[in-house]
Structure 1
């Protein structure tokens, strides 16, 4: 025996059928939370959107640093710290501008998160094609097309 075990196909794996429910609930939760915060009159004060957007990343950085310090992992390299900071700046910007879109009236609030999700998928697909010559399969192309049609239909109605 070589110490490996085999499982029958499908055993030990969760079905992906639950993913649409998770996406629906996740998008709804994000939309609801942003709605609560952007409706709050204190968010209109100068700098409040910027402060609100920075809290999750500041807390995430502190928790990550504390977790790293208590573990026996080697010290982070300078390039890892710089890359983490760059990612934090990009994430901060995306959250800040997401708040601005919620307040801007450009889209209905219920359309902001689905449109954002679709744009991320389309952009990632384009980067994959252009940078890595990764041509999406028929199923992926249909998925992107149907998502775009669904969001377009929701915007039209």
Structure 2
């Protein structure tokens, strides 16, 4: 349970950091590239099992790491844009309502238990995620304004589903750190390619503040993934239960942080959503 709680706290920290990126005018792509380099270094330094670089492409999980690395850098950028343009809570609801994707895969792909209490808990949790994050103020939302939340929804669901599949089938416990470091290195590689293409079109300095922002982002980013993988490897914890608790927990904490730190409006719907989220977590945990 401690791994799950730590994953929730570090994941919430990512949304907060992205919010500050907008406030301090950080170049998101540059910070993300630095972030992945930092996360890659932490993974390889802290690895329990040492694997020579030349042998990493021969590991059974390497192809999966390539897929996840490519998804990471693209969805991380989408998450940053959603947090800046739509707000912390909207980014949170878009990313975390995607819990339905890995939950459904967990139920059907791994034959996890399906009980009345669990189904009711998951339904309540999904409703709670929406209510806890929805904004009351009415405004005209252009189609472009929905692009990042929609991409974040499907991208986050794909990442969680793939992460579980690769962890179950290919990653030994002693290789978690080296696997995480490798997918971060691959994400950094893709990010550098994108950054290189952009720099050809527009020459500009990297910027010290972007490097600092990337370092600040990289530490919680690494640990949010490492603790999630470790939580997935705990015996007796079904992925449908874990992903529900993890995602809804992040929504609760990020909503409260948005209220206290950024003075975001906390409506009656938000309060009901937080209450239902707690109820949903309790029901899924009991089930």
- TM score, norm. by length of structure 1: 0.70
**CA shift in 2, pair 1:68/1:120, >3 Å:** same
**CA shift in 2, pair 1:80/1:23, >3 Å:** closer
**CA shift in 2, pair 1:31/1:63, >3 Å:** closer
Q: Spell out, residue by residue over 1:62-121, the C-alpha distance to the aligned partner (whole angstroms, 9 max, x if none).
A: 222222222215222122112113312211111011010011236332111121111211
Match of 2:163 in 1: 34
Residue 79 (1) aligns with residue 206 (2): no
- Give the drift of 1:153: 1.7
Q: Spell out, residue by residue over 1:108-140, the C-alpha distance to the aligned partner (whole angstroms, 9 max, x if none).
A: 321111211112112112222332343511111
Match of 1:61 in 2: 188
Give the distance between the partners of 1:11 and 1:129, measured in 2 at CA. Answer: 22
Specify the structure having the higher radius of gyration (Cα). Answer: 1
Verify the 8 A CA contact 1:115 1:151 in the aligned structure 2.
yes
Verify the 8 A CA contact 2:244 2:281 in the aligned structure 1.
yes
Q: Larger relative contact order (C-alpha < 8 A, sep ≥ 6)?
A: 2
Which residues of structure 1 form unaligned runs of 5+? 1-8
Residue 51 (1) aligns with residue 178 (2): yes
Verify the 8 A CA contact 2:173 2:233 in the aligned structure 1.
no
Give the distance between the partners of 1:13 and 1:59, measured in 2 at CA. Answer: 32
Match of 2:225 in 1: 95
**SS at structure 2 position matched to 1:153:** helix
Match of 2:84 in 1: none
More helix by share: 2
**SS at structure 2 position matched to 1:104:** coil
Q: How many residues align?
A: 143
Match of 2:280 in 1: 150
